[in-house]
Amino acid sequence: MGELENFRKKIDKIDDDILEILNKRAQYVLEVGNIKRRKKVKFYKPEREKKILERLATNNDGPFPNDALKSIYREILSASLALEEPLRVSCLGPLATFTHLAALRHFGSSASFVPVDSIKAVFDNVETGKAEYGVVPIENSNEGVVSYTLDMFMDSDLKVNAEIILEISHNLLSRQTDKSRIKKIYSHPQALAQCRGWLESNMPGIPVVDATSTAKASELAAKDKGAAAIASELAARMYDLNIIERNIEDSRHNITRFLVISKESPPKTGNDKTSIMFSVKDRPGALYDILTPFKRANINLTKIESRPSKRKAWEYIFFVDMEGHVGDKKVMKAIDSMREGCLFLKILGSYPQGRIQ
Alpha carbon separation from 2 to 6, 12, 235 (Å, rounded): 6, 15, 42
Our answer to whether residue 123 is catalytic in this structure is no
Sign of the C-alpha dihedral computed for residues 135, 136, 138 and 144 taken in this order: positive
d(CA 276, CA 230): 35
Neighbour order of strands in the sheet with 342-352? 301-308, 316-323, 272-280, 342-352
Out of 149, 214, 256, 274, the active site residue is 256
Q: Give the bridge partners for 308, in sequence order.
A: 316
Our answer to whether residue 256 is catalytic in this structure is yes
d(CA 68, CA 299): 34
Out of 98, 258, 278, 294, the active site residue is 258
Which residues are identified as catalytic?
A: 256, 258
